[in-house]
Amino acid sequence: MNNHRSRTRPSIAIFGLHTWGEHIIRICHALGLTITGLDPDSAIRRHITDTYPFVTLQNDADTIFHDPAITACIITSPSSTHYMLTKKAIRAGKHVLVEKPMTQNAKEAASLVTLAATYRRRLMVDHTYLFSPALRKARQMIRSGRIGSLLYIRSERSGPGPIRPDSSVIWDLAPHDISVAWLLTGQYPTRARILNAAPASPTGPYDADIELGCSSGIVFHGHISWIMPQKTRNITIIGTKASVTIEWKESEEILLHQKAAHQKSAGMYYKTSRPVPVKQDKEPLFQTVEYFLSSLATPATPLTDGTHAQEVIRIITKLNASRNKMIDNK
C-alpha cells in the first residue's frame, strides 16, 4: 500500500480504477484533490501505482468509509456494485457521485434517494452527456426558437464494446439517451419501448433500437450497440425551421441546417449547413466532477441528482418490460 496523503487538500475516494476510474483520477489530481483508490484487480492496482504514485491504494472498502478525512466517494465500479457501495458510503456520511446507472432496479434507486435525504448527503449520478458543451448549445438554440418547434430527435450510440458481463446495452447506454431527451425537451419520456434487440445474452441484448415518446408528441429514436465495428456518437435534432446535428469525435462538432423556405418535389429540404461555434475549454467529464464538488457547498439540487437517476431507471424498466412483451409475443 502506498501512502502519499496530504491532509491539507480535500480528500476523495474512487471505487473502480479501470478506464473510467482512471479518467476520474486524472481529473481529481488536476483539481488538487487527495485521492484514495480501491479496485479488486491486482493488475489494475499495479498500473495505478506505476502511473499515478500520488494515489493511495486501499484493500478494504470499510477502511475508506471509516476515514473521516474522506468527504466524498466517486463510484465507477461495475453497475452491479453501485447500490451496495453507494448505500454504505452514504451511511458512513460520505457524499457520492456514482456512474450511471445508479442501480439495476427501481426499488434500489428509490432506497438510495430516501437514504441520501435522511443522511443529508449529496447523491449525484454521472450522466456525462448533460455537460456536453455542444448539447447545451443545442438546448439553448431550441429554447430561443432558433430551430422552430422541436419535432424529432434521433441518436446513434454504438461501437465495439466494452461488453459488460453484469449488464446489457439497455442498462449501459440507454441512460444517456433518456437523460439527453430530458435535457432537450424538458420532459421525461412517458412512453418507452424497444423496437428490436439482438443478440441476447443472459443479462440482455448487445444491440437495440429504442423509441421514447414525450407527452408533447416529440419522438426520440436511438440505436445503441456494443457490437458495431466502429465507434459512433451522434445526434440529430429536427425542428420546424432548422435542424441541428452533433457528432462527438476528438472534439464536439455541431452543425445548423437551415430549412428551405419552400419545398418543391425535386428541391432540397435544407438550403444551408454551417458549423456553430462551441466553447470547449473543459471536457464534459471534467465539468461533471467539478460540478459535483462545487455542489457540496450549496443547498441547490444538482442537475443529475438521485431523483433524476431514479426517473431514468424507471424508464429503463419500461424499456425492458417492452422487450419481455416482445419476446412473449413471438
Write the pLDDT tens digit of every residue in 101-121: 999 999 999 999 999 999 999
| 275 and 301 housed in the same domain | no
**103 within domain boundaries:** yes
State which residues form the domain around 163: 129-279+313-328
Q: How far apart are CA 133 and CA 255, in angstroms?
A: 13
Q: What is the pLDDT of residue 267?
A: 60
| 122 and 256 housed in the same domain | no
Does residue 86 register a pLDDT over 90? yes
Pick from 1-5, 215-219, 320-324: least confident: 1-5
**143 within domain boundaries:** yes
Q: How far apart are CA 193 and CA 178, in angstroms?
A: 12
Does residue 1 register a pLDDT over 50? no
Does residue 328 register a pLDDT over 60? no
Which candidate, 279, 280, 258, places its Cα nearest to that of 269? Answer: 258
Mean pLDDT, rounded, of the chain: 92
Region 73-87: what's the mean pLDDT?
Answer: 97
Handedness of CA 19, 20, 21, 24 (dihedral sign): positive
Q: How far apart are CA 252 and CA 283, in angstroms?
A: 10
Q: β-pairing, 204-205 with 227-239? A: unpaired
| 58 and 188 housed in the same domain | no
Does residue 230 register a pLDDT over 50? yes
Region 155-163: what's the mean pLDDT?
Answer: 93
CATH number at residue 260: 3.30.360.10
Does residue 326 register a pLDDT over 90? no
| 179 and 318 housed in the same domain | yes
Q: How far apart are CA 81 and CA 65, in angstroms?
A: 15
| 199 and 229 housed in the same domain | yes
Region 37-57: what's the mean pLDDT?
Answer: 96
| 323 and 176 housed in the same domain | yes
Confidence of residue 200 (pLDDT cuts 50, 70, 90): confident
User: pLDDT above 90 covers what percent of the chain?
Assistant: 82
Which candidate, 240, 253, 4, 70, places its Cα nearest to that of 142? Answer: 240
Q: β-pairing, 11-15 with 34-38? A: parallel
Q: How far apart are CA 150 and CA 64, in angstroms?
A: 47
| 221 and 108 housed in the same domain | no
Does residue 208 register a pLDDT over 80? yes
pLDDT tens digits for range 235-289: 999 999 999 999 998 889 999 999 887 655 556 688 889 999 998 889 999 999 9
| 81 and 182 housed in the same domain | no
User: pLDDT above 70 covers what percent of the chain?
Assistant: 93
| 67 and 210 housed in the same domain | no
Q: What is the pLDDT of residue 264?
A: 58
Pick from 7-11, 59-63, 322-326: least confident: 7-11
What dihedral do alpha carbons 159, 162, 167, 171 form, nearest 10°?
A: -40
**4 within domain boundaries:** no
Instruction: For residue 51, count CB atoms less than 10 angstroms from its CB and return exposed for 0-12, middle for 13-18, buried for 19 or more.
Output: exposed
Number of domains composing the chain: 2
Confidence of residue 194 (pLDDT cuts 50, 70, 90): very high
Does residue 213 register a pLDDT over 50? yes
| 139 and 261 housed in the same domain | yes
CATH number at residue 15: 3.40.50.720
Q: What is the pLDDT of residue 6?
A: 41
**3 within domain boundaries:** no
Q: Could you tell me the pTM of the whole model?
A: 0.91
**2 within domain boundaries:** no
**1 within domain boundaries:** no
Q: How far apart are CA 284 and CA 281, in angstroms?
A: 10
Q: What is the pLDDT of residue 266?
A: 56
Q: What is the pLDDT of residue 261?
A: 73
Q: What is the pLDDT of residue 84?
A: 98
Does residue 220 register a pLDDT over 60? yes
Q: How far apart are CA 277 and CA 255, in angstroms?
A: 9
Q: How far apart are the first and last CA of the chain?
A: 55
Q: What is the pLDDT of residue 91?
A: 98
- Pair 244, 278: CB distance under 8 Å: no
| 86 and 116 housed in the same domain | yes
| 207 and 241 housed in the same domain | yes
**218 within domain boundaries:** yes
Does residue 5 register a pLDDT over 60? no
Confidence of residue 67 (pLDDT cuts 50, 70, 90): very high
**70 within domain boundaries:** yes
